[in-house]
Amino acid sequence: MSVAMVNAEAVRKRFGRLEVLKGITLEVQPGEVMCLLGPSGSGKSTFLRCINHLEKINSGRLSVDGELVGYRQVGDRLHELRESEIARKRAEIGMVFQHFNLFPNMTALDNVTCAPIRVKKVAREGARERARELLARVGLADKLEAYPVQMSGGQQQRVAIARALAMEPKLMLFDEPTSALDPELVGEVLGVMKQLARDGMTMIVVTHEIGFAREVADTVVFMDEGVVVESGSPADVLTTPRHERTRSFLSKVL
């Protein structure tokens, strides 16, 4: 029996008085691609940020690859992890953001080599070699020395994917990776993500691209107001949704 890559049980998250996640329970298996759909404010992005501990959960259990996120269990007590331990766990999870968040003062190549050199202590030459391969893989072999401002949004997002892959993550989180892109540029980013899915990467993708979810996802989860409304195969959730809320959302997005 294999351990789930991500296991969430009744995860709750509050910002002040506002409860954003009201008990999320779901499971992602290794190699699975899960798409999270839902209206804005439904808690999808927050849930994603909880998985690599950019946000702390208030209650419930959340584990990645069999280990609790942010805590260690000793007996029946939880101990907070030290910052360096949290950082080490984050290094194994790649994250791609809506607004790319590339480091603007570094070239594409330096963006990709930065974390391997600083965090994994990989030798500079080896890191650059690997970065060139990764940038070629996302179709940017000719942009190695370009700064983020000199690239289109689609190119920047592909660099961001290469940057996350350079840490050789076991899980990739995508937070609306195409929402800030011109419609013409969405395809090139989705193309890279499809290839990644075919290569067997475990992925959780928050997206509004229903076509992508239908084609690539193993599981589609529809969230609204901090709860999972329904989940299942793309055919089930997208073609024959059981809940009225899912139906009305899909009718607006499609």
60 burial level (CB within 10 Å; 0-12, 13-18, 19+): middle
3-state secondary structure at position 89: helix
Q: Residue 164, interface with another protein (CB under 8 A)?
A: yes
Minimum CB distance to another protein smaller for 92 or for 225:
92
Q: According to the binding rule CB under 8 A, does residue 171 interact with another protein?
A: no
Q: Residues touching another protein: how many (CB under 8 A)?
A: 34
> Least separation, in Å, of the C-beta of 108 and another protein?
11
> E strands along 113-237, which residues?
171-175, 203-206, 219-224, 227-232
Residue 244 CB, nearest distance to another protein (Å)? 35
Q: Which of 119, 195, 184 is nearest to 162 (CA)?
A: 195
Q: What is the per-residue binding string for another protein in 214-253, x denoting contact by CB under 8 A?
A: ----------------------------------------
Sign of CA dihedral 75, 81, 86, 88: negative
In 166-222, which residue ranges form alpha helices assigned H by DSSP? Answer: 183-198, 210-216
Q: Least Å distance between CB 217 and another protein?
A: 22
Query: Binding residues for another protein, per CB under 8 A?
Result: 49, 52, 54, 83-84, 87-88, 90-95, 97, 99, 101-106, 114-115, 118-120, 147-150, 160, 163-164, 167
